[in-house]
Structure 1
């Protein structure tokens, strides 16, 4: 059964390789991609069920016993994120023929997409810090192919910035891993977690922890390291933007949660307050960016930043309620951000521009699209009883439990501004004045994958009584690093 842990990585890798040979036969490639992604989703659902029923699944590649070999760990947190990745990727693959031009599809769009899914799943499942770097590079190489697909001047400019920033952070990442190996003599995360308490070099380890935080904060687009992200995420096609917004920054924040709940478990109020400040500033500056633009793609891209701030808040307060809230909000945000990026992609396809000033009255021509977008804005902002509300109420409750009242106020104000920033699209784009000489375009089949994602988000809110016990298990698990260590090292 342990071999199941690697299948969410291997299957997309295999699928990407196969569709690379059929790229000129677009219809057949689309069919194959849909079959592969459905198999991937079904398999991931099955593995998730096994993890929550029987416990953590650990694969020791080549029968090399941990900590000496390559380890893959499907635990409560990682498998939930892999399942979320598989779910939103399914929606993206199914909507791709509608929002991606046939020319771009023939230039290995599906191959790069499957490679991205494989890299993201590998980053979530690896139990080895060096292999986390490797999977970061896999997903980044796939993202380089996707961001440049189309070859426009704007894409070339933003992709250059994107590549340089990620190249620099990757160099710092692998160098820091080398220093950590020199100090503790291992790169297995469970083994590192054991040895950091035995090594009498607290100053060096603290420095390594801080550097790793800034590496992952760059990839997660936390304040003040988010400057590269918004425009880089909107230049590709809408499906790629959705995958980027939902997955890439989330791998960065997942890495922070993993190392700071397993390896560098902090007890210092200074570090906790530092995290809270970064979380609060990410919320504030992210929503300011969303309010400052009339580009509907940029509005959604900037709203990625405060969501990462909310997730970091749960780690900062570091109690069961906060960590459960971080997990709940992280899953919610991955799903709803995918839906919103796809929705603005559909709007841009219809209008021919992403400039909000050039839109108006779309509700008269596309009432279903308008009301779906309206619901999605409420889900994003955390209006009860939707999933965003459940995640935020857990985070704010956890903050109250640790007497961090100011960040609660910041979180509530940010939520209202997030609602306003996205509702502005509905008010001006859909509810505005009806445009004359407007050419109506068909949207047949575009909305079904988006509706699927929004229904999942609504279920996470309305069905919280069913969902929350599983998320609570994750919160308890993250507060008990010995459970992870014992599963991997079999102690």
Structure 2
């Protein structure tokens, strides 16, 4: 059983190498990618069942005893997010195959897309299951290296500009990350997360707070927290829809996961909780206001992405069982809903030939299925009952109301306002893009690009992938009871921290 923890990382890397060697056989590349991500999804499901019923699954690579060796661990939180992420990565791959962004041009196989996509998947998996800070850094670098290639494929002037912004910000955050690791190791003599949970508490309060705030800055950049969010709305919208979907659905959530793991296990501090609450309300409000100010559909969705990261930080900053339960449920909901919305945006753009809301009209009349695929995740994002977004927000609002401090009340009120602003934003998209008289599509601005827009054609694979994610979002609402119970068990583990330490270090921390 323990060896299964390594397979979500190892299988995509091996498949990436095989895919690179079969670069001129596009059909084989596609089969490899779909098969491997399907296998990762099954493995993640097995790990989740075992972690929930039998405790965390731990693998010590090379047989070295912790904290000196490399530890891989799948507890309830890691296994749950690994499963959801694997399903989303599989759906996005199916969409990209249908959209043919895996091709250089008409009928020509790409040697780059499939290997880089699989490397990205390996990085995401490693981030969830790694048990030390340095390999968390390695996981982020694997993800970023692959994302550099994916976001700048088929280079045009807008993509070069957005790609440069993305690369520069990512390199800066990586520099801060490795500096943070050096400082933590200097202060404690270890980078193992379970070992750090014991040794950081022995440091002076000032050092603990300083290191904890540096961790918030490092992962805050990667999670796009205000005021460190500026790079995201300028980077994501220019990429093809499936690339944007997987970035929005997963990469920012990996940053959120890193914050949850480090701030609950290692840097539990009242000052940091207050900082997180302030950052949460600023992220929610500023992101939502930025969204309603946009005319570009993808930029609007990007600002909504930023805004809803604030909900997750809100629950983390409360540091209560119900707050963390809401965070975990919200992350699961948001991964599927946000990725689904960006895929729908790709369908809309493909049919209308534009991302400008002012230039869109009548999509619901011309393509009613696409309208349904947009409406369901949009209502969930806005928190309309009985969708999963409503369930997650109710848990967070209950948690905020249960913490009797003025700051918690302010952030709770901000969460309500943000939900209303989100509803206004998605209603505006509906009114401008889906209602009204049907318009002729704009001509394809670049007929040689990998995405043919304005053609009115959508492959079955694209509809199947988008519909699958939308159905997954609805299923989360249907299964809200069991998922909430599992999220609560994971939240209790985070608050306690002992199950994680014992699984890695053994009883007594030895």
Query: Map of 1:182-193 to 2, 5 A cutoff?
Result: 182-193=186-197
Q: Distance in 2 between matches of 1:457 and 1:109?
A: 27
Give the drift of 1:179: 1.2
The corresponding residue for 2:47 is 47
Find the aligned partners of 2:395 and 2:490 in 1 and give their Cα distance. 14
Residue in structure 2 matched with residue 329 of structure 1 by the alignment? 330
* Equivalent-residue separation in structure 1 for 2:196 and 2:314 (angstroms): 25
Aligned partners of 1:304, 1:436: CA distance in 2, in Å?
30
Task: Give the CA deviation at 1:406.
Answer: 2.1
Residue 198 of structure 1 deviates from its aligned partner by 2.5
Q: Does the 8 Å CA contact 1:374/1:423 hold for their aligned counterparts? A: no
Pair 1:442-2:457 in alignment: yes
Counterpart-to-counterpart distance in 2, 1:17 and 1:391: 39
Q: What secondary structure does 2:418 align onto?
A: helix
How far residue 135 of structure 1 moved from its aligned partner, in angstroms, is: 0.8
Give the conservation status (yes or no) of the 8 Å contact 2:441–2:455: no
Secondary structure, aligned partner of 1:225 = coil
Structure 1 residue 466 displacement after superposition: 2.4
Larger deviation, residues 3-12 vs 463-472: 463-472
Instruction: Give the TM-score normalised by the residue count of structure 2.
Output: 0.93
Q: Note the residue ranges of structure 2 that are not aligned, 5 or more in a row.
A: 443-453
Matched, 1:284 2:285: yes
SS in 2 for 1:303: helix
Distance 1:400 1:156 in 2: 46
Residue-by-residue CA offset, 1:322-378 (whole Å, 9 max, x unaligned): 000000001100010110010001111111111111111112210111122112210
Contact 2:352 2:441 in 1 (8 A): no
Alignment correspondent of 1:452: 468
Aligned residues: 488
1:196 aligns with 2:200: yes
CA distance in 1, matches of 2:396, 2:208: 29
Counterparts of residues 85-234 of structure 1 (less than 5 Å): 85-101=85-101, 102-103=103-104, 106-199=110-203, 201-234=204-237
| Structure 1 partner of 2:419 | 415
In the TM superposition, residue 474 of structure 1 has moved relative to its aligned partner by 0.9
What RMSD over aligned residues (CA atoms) do the two structures have, in Å?
1.4
DSSP-derived class of the 1:60 partner:
strand
Q: Matched residues in 2 for 1:134 and 1:371: separation? A: 40
Is the CA contact (8 Å cut-off) linking 1:9 and 1:121 kept in structure 2?
Answer: yes
Offset of residue 436 of structure 1: 4.8
- How far apart in 2 are the matches of 1:296 and 1:436? 18
Quick one: structure 1 residues 400 and 64, their matched pair in 2 at CA, closer, same or farther if it must change by over 3 Å? same
8 Å Cα contact 1:99/1:238 also seen in 2: no
Task: Single out whichever of 361-370 and 216-225 deviates more from structure 2.
Answer: 361-370
- Partners of 2:227 and 2:434 lie apart in 1 by 34
The answer for the alignment partner of 1:483 in structure 2 is 499
Residue 197 of structure 1: SS of its match in structure 2? helix
Matched, 1:405 2:409: yes
Residue 263 of structure 1 pairs with residue 278 of structure 2: no
Deviation of 1:434 after TM superposition, in Å, equals 2.1
What is the SS of the residue equivalent to 1:334? helix
Residue of structure 2 in register with 1:73 after alignment:
73
Instruction: Give the corresponding residue for 2:451.
Output: none
- 8 Å contact from structure 1 (residues 22, 29) kept in 2: yes
User: Aligned runs of 1:252-401 on 2, under 5 Å?
Assistant: 252-266=255-269, 268=270, 270-401=271-402
Flag structure 1 segments of 5+ consecutive residues without an equivalent. Answer: none
1: CA distance between counterparts of 2:186 and 2:274? 30
Cα distance in structure 2, aligned partners of 1:466 and 1:331: 13
> Which residue number in structure 2 is paired with residue 37 of structure 1?
37
Q: Which protein, 1 or 2, shows the higher relative CO under an 8 Å CA cutoff with sep ≥ 6?
A: 2
Give the conservation status (yes or no) of the 8 Å contact 1:279–1:313.
yes
> Is the CA contact 1:100–1:237 (under 8 Å) kept in the aligned structure 2?
no
